Amino acid sequence: MRFIVDAHLSPGICKMLQAAGHDAIHTTQLSNGNRTSDQTINELSLSEQRVLISKDTDFYYSLLLHHKPGNWYWYEPATSAIES
């Protein structure tokens, strides 16, 4: 499976996916790095058939309004509540 990991997430997620045998890139690896526009990331995810992993809500609204990116995963890390 092919992935692109957005700037708001750790490059470590890419490394974990690569270790599992997936083709994964992080936005830091793109020519404009973390300054790559959302539109460019959308286009890349569509043209290279990559699942976009992000916690940026802009992609959620883009998906609802424009059906881009085609494959998108909302990343919300597990939180642990500590009760006292």
| 23: its two tokens | 């083709």
Mean pLDDT of 16-23: 96
Under the banding of pLDDT at 50, 70 and 90, the label for residue 3 is: very high
Check pLDDT > 70 for residue 82: no
Supply the pLDDT for residue 77: 58
Helix and strand totals (H; E) in the chain = 3, 4
Task: Provide the residue type at 44 as one letter.
Answer: L
Comparison of pLDDT for 11 and 70, the residue scoring more: 11
Which ranges in the chain belong to alpha helices (H)?
11-19, 38-47, 57-66
pLDDT digits (tens, 9 = 90+) for 25-76: 999 999 999 899 988 998 898 899 999 898 887 777 777 777 766 665 656 6
Q: How far apart are CA 53 and CA 34, in angstroms?
A: 14
